[in-house]
C-alpha cells in the first residue's frame, strides 16, 4: 500500500508555490493602490491613508493624480508610456488570439497527420519541426526582419502574428501529436469501415476527443504570444500596433517612474491572463492529465 505524503510537507511546499506564483501579483496590486509617499516611508502603515486609485484613473483617462498637480511635484515620475497600456492590451489580445487560432488551425491537422499516418520524410520533417525552437531567437531577428520588411509587414500586427504563430507551432504539433497517438486505433478503423474520409475522421472523431488537449494547447500558444518581447519590440511600429510587453519594457526603463504607477501598469497587464486562466482552467487540467489517468 502506497503511503501518503507528510501533510506538513505538502502544506509547506504548497505555501511556497503560492508565495512565488501569487506573491508578485498580490504585491503589484497592493503597490498600485498605495501612493508613493506611503510605499517609500517605512514609518507609515501601508493603508494608513486608505486605497488610492489615482494611478488607474491616469492610465485610463490621462488625468494626473492630485499629488502631482502641486508646483514642487516631480512630474518625471508620471510616464506617458503608462497611457499606452489600454491600447497595448487590446493589441496584445488581438495578436495573441490570432496567433492561437492560426496555431490550432495549422497545428492540429499537422499533429494528426504526424500521429496517425506514415509518409515519406515523416521523421525528418518532424524532427526539424520539433528541434527548430532550439535555434536562439536572437539569431533569427535579422533574417525575420528582412523577410517581413520585403513583404511590407514590419510595423503591422500581421507581421507579429505570423512570427508568434511560427514560434508556437512546434509546441502545438508536439503536444497534440502525443494525444492523437494515444487514441485507440479501433476508433479510426471503425471510421474507415463507415466510409469516412481522412478529413471526416479528423473533424468528427479525433478533434472532439482531443478537445481538452486542444484547449490546453491553445491557452499556452496564447500565453507564449502574449508574453513574447524580442520580436514584438523589433517588429512593432508606433503605439497603435505596440503590444503590452513592449510598452511595459519602455515603462520599466524609466528610472524615475512612480512605483505606484508602475505597479498599476503591471497589474493591469496581468489581469487578462488571470481571467483567461480562470475560464479555461478546466481544459488545461483535463488536457494535461488525460494521458496520465487513462490507459
Write out the three cell numbers for 205. 472523431
Of 5, 63, 7, 74, the closest CA to residue 37 belongs to 74
Residue 187 pLDDT grade (very low, low, confident, very high; cuts 50, 70, 90):
confident
* Per-residue pLDDT, 105: 95
With a cut of 70, say whether residue 72 has pLDDT above it.
Answer: no
pLDDT tens digits along 149-176:
999 999 899 999 999 999 999 999 998 9
Of 134, 219, 120, the closest CA to residue 175 belongs to 219
Write out the three cell numbers for 34. 498605495
With a cut of 50, say whether residue 181 has pLDDT above it.
Answer: yes
With a cut of 60, say whether residue 188 has pLDDT above it.
Answer: yes
* Per-residue pLDDT, 295: 43
With a cut of 80, say whether residue 289 has pLDDT above it.
Answer: no
- Look up the pTM and report it: 0.84
Gap between the Cα atoms of 153 and 232, Å rounded:
12
Write out the three cell numbers for 180. 492523437
Write out the three cell numbers for 5. 505524503
Of 69, 88, 68, the closest CA to residue 258 belongs to 68
Helices 54-61, 259-293: axis angle to 10 degrees equals: 80
* Per-residue pLDDT, 61: 87
Superfamily of domain 84-293: MetI-like (1.10.3720.10)
Taking only Cα atoms into account, the Rg of the chain, rounded to an integer number of angstroms, comes to 24
pLDDT tens digits along 115-153:
988 889 889 999 988 888 888 888 899 999 999 999 999
Residues in the chain: 295
Q: What average pLDDT does this structure show over 45-61?
A: 84
Q: What average pLDDT does this structure show over 249-278?
A: 84
Q: At 124, which helix (H) or strand (E)?
A: helix 122-131
* Per-residue pLDDT, 278: 73
CA dihedral of residues 251, 19, 90, 210 (deg, nearest 10): 140
With a cut of 70, say whether residue 243 has pLDDT above it.
Answer: yes
Average pLDDT value for the chain: 84
| Domain range summary for the chain, segments of one domain joined by + | 22-81, 84-293
Amino acid at each position: 500500500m502506497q503511503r501518503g505524503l507528510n501533510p506538513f510537507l505538502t502544506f509547506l511546499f504548497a505555501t511556497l508555490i503560492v508565495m512565488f506564483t501569487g506573491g508578485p501579483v498580490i504585491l503589484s496590486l497592493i503597490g498600485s493602490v498605495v501612493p508613493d509617499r506611503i510605499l517609500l516611508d517605512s514609518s507609515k502603515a501601508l493603508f494608513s491613508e486608505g486605497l488610492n486609485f489615482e494611478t488607474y484613473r491616469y492610465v485610463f483617462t490621462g488625468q494626473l493624480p492630485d499629488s502631482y498637480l502641486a508646483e514642487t511635484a516631480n512630474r518625471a515620475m508620471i510616464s506617458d508610456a503608462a497611457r499606452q497600456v489600454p491600447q497595448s492590451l487590446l493589441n496584445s489580445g488581438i495578436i495573441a488570439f490570432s496567433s492561437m487560432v492560426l496555431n490550432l488551425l495549422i497545428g492540429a491537422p499537422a499533429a494528426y497527420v504526424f500521429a496517425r499516418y506514415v509518409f515519406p520524410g515523416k521523421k525528418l520533417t518532424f524532427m526539424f519541426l520539433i528541434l527548430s525552437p532550439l535555434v536562439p531567437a536572437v539569431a533569427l531577428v535579422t533574417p525575420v526582419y528582412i523577410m517581413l520588411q520585403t513583404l511590407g509587414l514590419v510595423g503591422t500586427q500581421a507581421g507579429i502574428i505570423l512570427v508568434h504563430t511560427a514560434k508556437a507551432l512546434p509546441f502545438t504539433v508536439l503536444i497534440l501529436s502525443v494525444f492523437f497517438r494515444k487514441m485507440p486505433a479501433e476508433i479510426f478503423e471503425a471510421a474507415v469501415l463507415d466510409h469516412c474520409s481522412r478529413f471526416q475522421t479528423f473533424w468528427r472523431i479525433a478533434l472532439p476527443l482531443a478537445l481538452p488537449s486542444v484547449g490546453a494547447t491553445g491557452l499556452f500558444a496564447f500565453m507564449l504570444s502574449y508574453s513574447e518581447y524580442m520580436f514584438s519590440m523589433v517588429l512593432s511600429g508606433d503605439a497603435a500596433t505596440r503590444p503590452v510587453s513592449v510598452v511595459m519594457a519602455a515603462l520599466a526603463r524609466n528610472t524615475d517612474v512612480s512605483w505606484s504607477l508602475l505597479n498599476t501598469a503591471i497589474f493591469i497587464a496581468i489581469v487578462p491572463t488571470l481571467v483567461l486562466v480562470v475560464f479555461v482552467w478546466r481544459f488545461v487540467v483535463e488536457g494535461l492529465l488525460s494521458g496520465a489517468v487513462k490507459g
